[in-house]
């Protein structure tokens, strides 16, 4: 049975949800599922904007057939050819052999690399600033390199202000019938997954997102149709502001994220003491994460959210605890910057984790590491309460 929603009078969402996939890109857990959005415009010509992942291919084809209602499919615009959106291109071409594919030059190279065979007579290459009319609607094509792959572009309907934004403004989470941002409580139920999606998928490419936001500021956007998650038809400023902060690597909140690596609970105990003291001294926006029990995508997402991070780690094989090291490496790979760190280290002998974590952070961009630190020799003692107070004061001062 088809399952579609109307976006405007002549534009339909014809995508679907995947509730079965455990790991997006085979790495990021998606307990709330994910949607793959595809849109069909019924103008003088019929225009499909992106396809979907194989996993929901059957639903998508049924949706497409239903909305076309016997009309031919004239054009297929591919804004982003990563296979979670482009997997159905060949199948669509087999079913609608007269369709022409519109995309960037690089996207056609990638299609070839992925083994999608499209006859050159069926392709139409567009570049930054090109426009094409499909009847009433005129579409402007805007390059969006590295948001999230180099070939990406976005398409803007100059007639009604609809932006087909590709991966930008997307989110993890299945839609479950609620297509529009005003049909959900986004700030309560979606923002954490939206942040986790952005920071882990596109987070590395902040300057490219900034470039796209600058281009977007020059056009009158009324509706944003991303490839994942809700369609935005009001309150766009809320989400644009989040994207602006994330892509400038600016924290959303003044707060302290304590990430601890603890083998027998002693480092965790010291981290808890530190948390209590922060709250006692008035900083109650404090969160604690066990690096061994928290998925790295969640750690990254929270790191983008908070201004301050405390790393509390045991020494392991004379180095940083491996899962803490992974977290640091992922942070570096995603270009996280502009954060203030404090260090709490532990080592029953040859304590090295603090020095190594400091070195790691000092080799990253715009990271501040507070001079004060606490060193445990197996466990925290009452004699170290003064040192902990000094560290807490230093964290709080750094937030003023
Ligand atoms: Fe949802 Fe970059 O693909």
CA atoms within 13 A on the CB side of 312: 31
Any ligand 1 atom below 6 A from CB of 228: yes
Please report the pLDDT score of residue 9 as a whole number.
Answer: 98
Is residue 252 domain-resident?
no
Show which of 183, 215, 247 is a domain's final residue. 247
Please report the pLDDT score of residue 256 as a whole number.
Answer: 98
Any ligand 1 atom below 6 A from CB of 196: no
Q: Residues of the chain with pLDDT > 70: what percent?
A: 100
| pLDDT digits 0-9 by tens, 237-249 | 999 999 999 999 9
Mode of pairing for the β-strands spanning 11-13 and 39-42: antiparallel
Dump the DSSP string for 76-121.
EE-S--SHHHHTTHHHHHHHSTT-EEEE-HHHHHHHHHTT----GG
Give mean pLDDT, residues 359-379.
Answer: 98
Q: Do 62 and 211 lie in a common domain?
A: yes
Q: How far is the CA of 120 from the centre of ligand 1 (A)?
A: 25
Is residue 176 domain-resident?
yes
Any ligand 1 atom below 6 A from CB of 195: no
| pLDDT digits 0-9 by tens, 124-157 | 999 999 999 999 999 999 999 999 899 999 999 9
Cis amide linkage into residue 148, ω under 30° from 0: yes
Please report the pLDDT score of residue 347 as a whole number.
Answer: 98
Q: Do 180 and 264 lie in a common domain?
A: no
Any ligand 1 atom below 6 A from CB of 227: yes
Q: How far is the CA of 149 from the centre of ligand 1 (A)?
A: 8
Q: Do 152 and 292 lie in a common domain?
A: no
Give mean pLDDT, residues 90-100.
Answer: 97
Is residue 358 domain-resident?
yes
Element at 38 (helix H, strand E) = none
Q: Do 169 and 270 lie in a common domain?
A: no
Closest ligand 1 atom to Cα of 202: 2
Q: Do 239 and 262 lie in a common domain?
A: no
Is residue 27 domain-resident?
yes
From its phi and psi, is residue 47 left (phi > 0), alpha (psi between -120 and 50) or beta?
beta
- Looking at the whole model, is its pTM more than 0.75? yes
Any ligand 1 atom below 6 A from CB of 162: no
Is residue 202 domain-resident?
yes
Please tell me the residue having the least CA distance from ligand 1 atom 3: 82
Show which of 184, 212, 247 is a domain's final residue. 247
Per-residue pLDDT for 295 more than 90? yes
Please report the pLDDT score of residue 304 as a whole number.
Answer: 98
Which CATH number do you get for residue 374?
Answer: 3.40.50.360
Asked if 156 and 214 touch (Cβ cutoff 8 Å), the reply is no
Show which of 188, 221, 247 is a domain's final residue. 247
Give mean pLDDT, residues 300-308.
Answer: 98
Q: Do 160 and 41 lie in a common domain?
A: yes
First to last CA, the chain: 57
Q: Do 313 and 343 lie in a common domain?
A: yes
Q: Do 89 and 212 lie in a common domain?
A: yes
| pLDDT digits 0-9 by tens, 186-233 | 999 999 999 999 999 999 999 999 999 999 999 999 999 999 999 999
Please report the pLDDT score of residue 117 as a whole number.
Answer: 84
Q: Do 135 and 177 lie in a common domain?
A: yes
Q: How far is the CA of 167 from the centre of ligand 1 (A)?
A: 5
């Amino acid at each position: 049975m088809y399952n579609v929603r109307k976006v405007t009078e002549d534009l339909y969402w014809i995508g679907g949800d995947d509730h079965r996939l455990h790991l997006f890109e085979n790495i990021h857990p998606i307990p709330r599922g994910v949607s793959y959005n595809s849109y069909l415009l019924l103008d003088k010509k019929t225009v499909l904007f992106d396809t979907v992942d194989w996993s929901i291919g059957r639903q998508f084809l049924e949706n497409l057939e239903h909305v076309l209602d016997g009309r031919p499919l004239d054009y297929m615009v591919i804004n982003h050819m990563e296979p979670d959106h482009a997997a159905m291109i060949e199948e669509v071409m087999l079913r609608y052999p007269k369709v022409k594919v519109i995309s960037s030059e690089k996207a056609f190279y990638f299609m070839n690399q992925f083994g999608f065979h499209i006859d050159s007579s069926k392709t139409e290459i567009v570049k930054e600033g090109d426009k094409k009319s499909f009847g009433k609607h005129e579409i402007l094509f805007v390059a969006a390199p590295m948001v999230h792959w180099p070939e990406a572009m976005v398409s803007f309907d100059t007639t009604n202000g609809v932006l087909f934004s590709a991966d930008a403004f997307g989110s993890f989470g299945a839609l479950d019938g609620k297509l529009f941002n005003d049909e959900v409580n986004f700030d309560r139920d979606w923002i954490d997954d939206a942040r986790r999606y952005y920071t882990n998928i596109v987070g590395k490419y902040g300057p490219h997102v900034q470039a796209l936001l600058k281009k977007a500021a020059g056009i009158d956007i009324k509706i944003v149709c991303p490839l994942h998650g809700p369609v935005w038809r009001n309150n766009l400023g809320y989400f644009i502001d989040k994207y602006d902060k994330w892509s400038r690597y600016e924290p959303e909140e003044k707060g302290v994220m304590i990430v601890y690596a603890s083998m027998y609970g002693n480092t965790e105990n010291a981290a808890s003491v530190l948390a209590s003291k922060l709250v006692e001294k008035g900083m109650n926006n404090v969160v604690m994460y066990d690096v061994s029990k928290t998925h790295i995508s969640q750690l990254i997402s929270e790191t983008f959210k908070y201004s301050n991070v405390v790393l509390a780690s045991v020494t392991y094989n004379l180095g940083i605890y491996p899962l803490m090291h992974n977290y640091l490496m992922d942070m570096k790979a995603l270009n996280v910057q502009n954060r203030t760190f404090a260090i709490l280290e532990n080592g029953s002998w040859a304590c090295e984790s603090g020095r190594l974590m400091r070195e790691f952070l000092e080799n990253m961009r715009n990271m501040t590491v507070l001079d004060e630190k606490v060193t445990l020799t197996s466990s925290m003692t009452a004699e170290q309460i003064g040192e902990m107070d000094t560290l807490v004061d230093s964290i709080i001062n750094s937030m003023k």
